[in-house]
Amino acid sequence: MPMTSQERVRTAFAHHEPDRVPIDYFANPGIDARLKAHYGLSRDDDEGLRQVLGVDFFEIIPPYVGPPMHAEIPGRRIDLWGARTRWVEHESGGYWDFCDFPLRDADAEAVARWPMPSPDDFDNSIVPALCARHRQYALVAGNPGAGDMINTAGMVRSMEQVMVDLATGDPACLLFMERKNQVQLEVLGRLLEAARGAIDLLWLGEDLGSTRGPLISLDLFRREIRPRHQKFVDLARSFGIPVMMHSCGSSSWAYDDFLEMGITIVDTLQPEAKEMAPSYLKGRWGNRLSFHGCVSTAGVVAHGTVDETVRMVRETLEVMMPGGGFAFSPTHMLQDNSPTANVVAMYDAARRWGAY
């Protein structure tokens, strides 16, 4: 019998085989618009595209209803944490790239004054209705930026500076991370409370690797990153839901620590990165961790043919499907340089070959 998305995801992440592999979807605006055009959908028909692709996940997001945190700057977008981006053209379209890094040279006193949103300024009153409206999906709280420290701090302080900050224990950087995490922890706690048991999964993030290896040492991870993430994991446990940790690049070196913390699902899984091949991950952690990802947005989906895309999907599923514990997903946002035909073939193959 066909399962609901919630049943399918819960079964897979409990290391049992569902009716088919759960499917997820993330994309940049360009390829998203092309996919909707391909399927005859309007540009704003996100639900229609989810249905066509067979997506099983839906993120519950309480809207921010507070005042603007930062003054507008011409030619810049500014998020709630103060990160600034500027539009950069490329051959496939363009993207908003981080720039300016307003806290790069800030000391702890300046960081303490830096505006941040209040948990009171997120409208959780609509969460029960959102959960009820999208109950056909496995409902997710959080995202790859929840609990994230290196990336978010790098957006306002520069990645180079954050690497130095972590190595030296710079109080300004650590204070920014702590303030941001306190807000997010409270926001997520209120969301989970408002959802009244409807949330199936808490999604956190922290990019820990490059393609070639770790960005930081295991000792540094245990000293500065792990204790802060543990608060989010403990929050999820208090609501009886599992935690999925996003990390780009080579991150398997931290998986044993993830398990000790109570993290049972890992996300992204760039197969081209060091010690991130599907066979390596499934062979070493397949009975203890569940996996969400493995379909590289920098590989054949972007640069190969339709036949190569289908072959990659089949090979990935053959490795990751046995025994459950796998959800099919791109490793990151599908990029605008991905041919529409390849992305269509990717999801067609997932639905066809992902059945148990």
Q: What is the CATH number of the domain that holds 148?
A: 3.20.20.210
Identity at 179, one-letter amino acid code: R
Q: What is the pLDDT of residue 93?
A: 84
Q: What is the pLDDT of residue 262?
A: 98
- Average pLDDT for 338-351: 98
How does DSSP classify residue 125?
G
Q: Each residue of 284-311: pLDDT tens digit?
A: 999 999 999 999 999 999 999 999 999 9
- Average pLDDT for 303-320: 98
Q: How many CB atoms lie within 10 A of CB 332?
A: 19
* CA–CA distances in Å: residue 299 to residues 18, 30, 335, 337: 28, 18, 11, 11
Phi, psi dihedrals of residue 57, rounded to the nearest 5°: -115, 150
- Average pLDDT for 229-249: 98
- Average pLDDT for 88-111: 94
Q: Within the chain, what is the greatest distance between any pair of CA atoms?
A: 60
Q: Each residue of 130-146: pLDDT tens digit?
A: 999 999 999 999 999 99
Under the banding of pLDDT at 50, 70 and 90, the label for residue 277 is: very high
- Average pLDDT for 309-322: 98
Distance of CA 338 to the CA centre of its chain: 19
pLDDT at 19 over 90: yes
pTM above 0.75, yes or no: yes
Task: List the strands of the sheet with 138-142, edge to edge.
Answer: 57-59, 138-142, 201-205, 243-247, 265-268, 290-295, 326-330
Q: How many CB atoms lie within 10 A of CB 75?
A: 9
Q: What is the pLDDT of residue 92?
A: 85
How many domains does one find in the chain? 1
Mean pLDDT, the chain, whole residue set: 97
| Alpha-carbon span 201 to 193, nearest angstrom | 14
Range of the domain at 245: 5-353
The pairing of strands 57-59 and 84-90 is unpaired
| Alpha-carbon span 282 to 294, nearest angstrom | 11
pLDDT at 260 over 90: yes
Q: What is the pLDDT of residue 91?
A: 87
pLDDT at 6 over 90: yes
- Residues in contact with 305: Cβ distance below 8 Å, sequence separation at least 6, in sequence order: 342
pLDDT at 150 over 90: yes
Percent of the chain past pLDDT 70, that is, above it, reads: 100
Of 64, 226, 204, 78, the C-alpha closest to 148 is 204
Under the banding of pLDDT at 50, 70 and 90, the label for residue 244 is: very high
Q: Each residue of 45-93: pLDDT tens digit?
A: 999 999 999 999 999 999 999 999 999 999 999 999 999 999 999 888 8
Of 221, 220, 216, 245, the C-alpha closest to 232 is 245
Phi, psi dihedrals of residue 139, rounded to the nearest 5°: -90, 135
How does DSSP classify residue 42?
-
- Average pLDDT for 279-286: 98
- Average pLDDT for 166-181: 97
pLDDT at 282 over 90: yes
> Which residue carries 């409902």 as its tokens?
139
Contact 200, 140 (CB under 8 A): yes
